[in-house]
Structure 1
């Protein structure tokens, strides 16, 4: 049964109990013959009030239940413009074409090519750990 129907049924029941107990309480000779029924009438009124308040609390919306909300859709104000950047600079190794040993060009080439180049001896330390003469040709 849905929540609205339950609430209406509980409210109607509470109202019927309250009206019937008030009708009994307003009878003319009630005080003379039914002194012990005061507690019964008070209980019925309390029960009716509790049912009404309880149904109001039960029908309150719950915020801890997960709900799906559509995400907002934003339209772009302008179209994206491609950004053109200059290509990164390229570093070339110096190329030696028949360079004579012990010249300034040879020394420059060997010092760029080999980090461990020693210009006094003209050698560099290779990956094998030995000294090798720099051949620029």
Structure 2
């Protein structure tokens, strides 16, 4: 049985968190905290600082392990001279008539935000 990369990273992150939680726990000390009728605040600030630094490190490890490696970015529309109305006889791009034309022609495969559609061959093309 093989583990995916994300599953392995999640298990490793859980192990690091568990180890950090056990390491940061302060030991119990008898008699600490009260001296001669006054409450004593002994050096607990260093423990909080250490816990914060460890928490920051664990967060960085988990964040980098769960970050996607590939991000798809829609290509920008081609330059205006490339898809002018005179070259193909259709409606002028980015007009309401052009949106209706492309939606009617390509249906759900047309992305109105980018002006591209997915062709039958799997390629991505600008609607003209």
Structure number with greater Rg is 1
Q: TM-score, normalised by structure 1?
A: 0.32
- Bigger strand share: 2
Q: Which has the higher helix share?
A: 2
TM-score (norm: length of structure 2)? 0.34
